[in-house]
A and B are shown apart, each in its own frame.
Chain A
Amino acid sequence: MRLFNRFILHTPESVELEFTLAGIGNRAYALLIDYIILGLIIVVFLLGALIFNSVLLETIANLLGSTNRLALWLIAVQALIGFFIYVGYFVFFETVWSGQTPGKRYVKIRVIRDDGRPVRLQQSTLRALMRPFDDLFFIGVFFIVLNQREKRLGDFVGGTLVIQEEQPVTTAALKVSTSAQSLAKKLLIQADISSLLPEDFAVIREYLQRREGMIPNARNELSKQLATQVKEIIGWEKMPKKVDANVFLEAVYHAYQQQVDN
């Protein structure tokens, strides 16, 4: 799929791993979510710091009579803590969740090292420290968009990549109705299920998985279309009129699975 950058990794064991890189859209989205959460944390911290400061300064003023440069010290320390929160948010989550922050988790992307191994503290810290450069003036965006492996400054320094998480297609989730199951038994005998190629089976499965979200009219039309095409492929002429296209497709799906299992 040339719309998304791929990255092929050759492990020392001569295994080829193929990753799809996250892409600027996903990364921007994840960063947006992360900044919103981080923003809330910082706001809470600032409020707490404000209250702490005023209370402390008042008490010290009462005790000692003046506060001298205490206020400046407090602000300096708190600014430093703020910076640590900013960097620490990303470092903590990327280390503990193996390359994901809450934003990345939601968007289903993940940080990994160049050699495919999960990120550790060192890489995550380097990445996060470069973040002020990447996020200011959107320098990181230019880097990600303009290079083949979508690395921003932090990725170059930390030796990391950001990939999309692969979602294994769970066939167990598909429920086949009982009428389809009985039809499947008939199909296995009467029709030529073996002439169904794996790609055809994939299309049927995809339809069955996606049909819930479809507009009813379109779904009915599509199911009839697919059913007609499938009928031709498996050479089953005598489909009784009352069989619903959806049930038929479920039956073919079930029959194919059974045939593969045998």
Chain B
Amino acid sequence: MPKKNLSSSGQTGPLSVGNVVSASLRIYRDHFKSYFGLALVASLWLFVPIYGWAKSSAISALISRLAFGEVREKPETVSDARRQVNPRMWSFFGAGILTVLIYFGVSLVGGIAIAIVTGGARAIFGQNSPIVAVLVVVVAVIAFFIIYIRIISRLLIVELPLAIENNIGASSAIARSWELTKGSVGRIQWIVFVGILVSLPISIVMQILTTIVQTVLRAVLEPESGMFYLVYFLLILPLSFASGALVTPFWQAMKAIIYYDLRSRKEGLGLQMRDR
């Protein structure tokens, strides 16, 4: 009997919410050294302004491209993928800037809207029923957050078309992400939520580690001494660095699998007759 997540044509096909998360974790685990190494390099590049930021986003997209190859069962070597991704480095940077601008614009509009609503609520309800006024403002703020998160979900996979498809620029990648996510926003939000749940243990462990190191340092060395700060710097900084880099490939893989899943459902990616 054909199984649900292995389509009868032998490829992965559309995935359920939970399976997307399990698959990202699996792909990350199978290539842990490679992906974690890339993520570390990406976080180091962040220290270099502009060029470093572009390089960093290119490397993160590289991880996504590799994960995409894995889930498609057409894996690429790191060097092959790198050759495809690096020339588009500035497109990633441009896409990143555009998305930040979009978020900024939405926040601005949202802020103004909330201010108007607050003023209006106070004018209408202020005297008689202040509680209603407060409620109206609360509803407005919640509505803003829902819309904001919705927009984040729609723009989640902008890097993927840039990393994988050809003849795509920054703005068309944004349009593509918008188009592909249409009608699947709820599912994407659940996937992200479950992903947060699953990655929570690692964050907690890292927090505990950091706290332990801090406490030991405080006990062993004199606080507020130069030595203390030096060792603190040398230990805590790499630790928080590493914990950030630890989780990044998981999310990059997840974006790649969401992208794969959406293309599978919306465009039948992978539906091909076997080569004879």
Chain A residues with CB under 8 Å of chain B are 1, 3-4, 20, 22-30, 32, 107-109, 137-138, 141-142, 145, 164-169, 197, 199-200, 202-203, 205-207, 210-211, 213-215, 218-219, 222, 225-226, 229-230, 233
A211 vs B26: C-alpha distance when bound (angstroms): 29
> Of all chain B residues, which has the CB nearest A19?
B3
Per-residue 0/1 for B1-37: is the Cβ within 8 Å of any A Cβ (1 yes, 0 no)? 1111111111011101111111111110000000000
Choose among B14, B193, B276 the residue that contacts A210 (Cβ–Cβ < 8 A).
B14
- B201 and A107 contacting across the interface, CB-CB below 8 Å: no
Interface residues of B in 193-220 (CB under 8 A from A): 193-195, 197-198, 200-201, 204
- Interface status of B268 (Cβ within 8 A of chain A): yes
B268 A4 Cβ-Cβ under 8 A: no
With A108-B16, A199-B274, A203-B271 in contact, is A24–B21 under 8 Å at CB? Answer: yes
A-B residue pairs in contact (CB < 8 Å), sample of 14: A3-B71, A4-B26, A25-B25, A28-B197, A29-B194, A32-B193, A168-B2, A197-B274, A202-B7, A202-B10, A203-B273, A210-B271, A219-B268, A226-B273
CB contacts (< 8 Å) of A210 on chain B: these are 14, 265, 268, 271
CB atoms of B27 and A215 under 8 A apart: no
4 smallest A-B Cβ distances: which pairs?
A25-B21, A26-B18, A23-B22, A25-B18
Most buried by B among A22, A200, A206: A206
Q: Using Cβ atoms and an 8 Å threshold, which residues of chain B touch A22?
A: 18
Q: Is the CB of A3 within 8 A of B27?
A: yes
Render B219-239 as a binary contact track against A, CB cut-off 8 A, 1 for contact: 000000000000000000000
Bound together, the chains give a CA A215 to CA B18 distance in angstroms of: 24
A23 partner residues in chain B, CB cutoff 8 A: 18-19, 21-23
With A28-B18, A213-B266 already in contact, the answer to whether A20 and B1 are too (CB < 8 A) is: no
Taking CB atoms and an 8 Å cut-off, the chain B residues in 71-92 that contact chain A are: 71
Residues of B within 8 A of A200 (CB): 273-274
Pick the residue among A199, A213, A215, A222 that contacts B9 (CB under 8 A): A199
B190 at the interface (CB under 8 A from A): yes
Q: How far is the CB of B94 from chain A (nearest CB, A)?
A: 26
Q: How distant is the Cα of A4 from the Cα of B18 in the complex, in angstroms?
A: 11
User: Beyond A164-B4, A210-B14, A222-B268, is A28–B273 a contact (Cβ under 8 Å)?
Assistant: no
Tell me the dominant secondary structure on chain A's binding face: helix
**Which residues on A sit within 8 Å (CB–CB) of B19?**
4, 23, 25-26, 164
Decide: A141 near B198, CB < 8 A? Known: A166-B1, A203-B272: yes
Q: A22-B18, A202-B2, A202-B9 are in contact. List 20 more A-B contacts (CB 8 A).
A: A1-B3, A1-B6, A20-B5, A26-B17, A28-B21, A138-B200, A142-B201, A168-B2, A203-B8, A203-B9, A203-B273, A206-B8, A207-B271, A210-B14, A210-B265, A210-B271, A218-B267, A219-B267, A222-B271, A230-B273
Query: Which chain A residue lies CB-closest to B8?
Result: A202
Q: Is the CB–CB distance between A233 and B197 below 8 Å?
A: no
The answer on a CB contact under 8 Å between B23 and A4 is: yes
State whether B273 touches A233 (Cβ < 8 A): yes
Q: Find chain B residues with CB under 8 A from A215 CB.
A: 179, 266-267
- Assess A138 versus B201: contact at CB under 8 Å? Given A206-B8, A218-B267: yes
Provided the pairs A20-B3, A166-B4 are in contact, do residues A207 and B26 lie with their beta carbons within 8 angstroms? no
Looking at the assembled complex, report how far the CB atom of B190 sits from the nearest CB atom of chain A, in whole angstroms: 7
Q: Which residues of A contact B13 (CB under 8 A)?
A: 206
Query: Do residues B22 and A4 form an inter-chain contact, with CB atoms below 8 A?
Result: yes
How many whole Å from A98's CB to the nearest CB in chain B?
Answer: 19
B20 nearest in chain A by CB position:
A25
Closest B residue to A210 using CB positions: B268
Note all chain B residues with C-beta closer than 8 A to A145. Answer: 25
Evaluate contact between B1 and A25: CB separation under 8 angstroms: no
Q: Which of A27, A164, A199 contacts B5 (CB 8 A)?
A: A164
**A60, chain B: closest CB distance, angstroms:** 36
Contact A30 B18 (CB under 8 A): yes
Chain A: minimal CB distance from B131 (Å) = 22
**B26: chain A residues within 8 A (beta carbon):** 3-4
Interface string of B164-177 (1 = CB under 8 A from A): 00000000000000
Complex Cα–Cα for A141 and B4 (A) = 24
Contact between A25 and B198, CB atoms less than 8 A apart? yes
Q: Which residues of chain A are near B193, meaning CB under 8 Å? A: 32
- Asked if A1 and B12 sit within 8 Å, CB to CB, the answer is yes
**Distance in angstroms between the alpha carbons of A260 and B27 in the assembled complex:** 39
Q: Chain B's nearest CB lies how many Å from the CB of A70?
A: 37
CA A229 to CA B9, docked complex, whole Å? 15
Chain A, residue nearest B208 (CB):
A137
- CB-CB under 8 A from B10, the residues of chain A are 199, 202
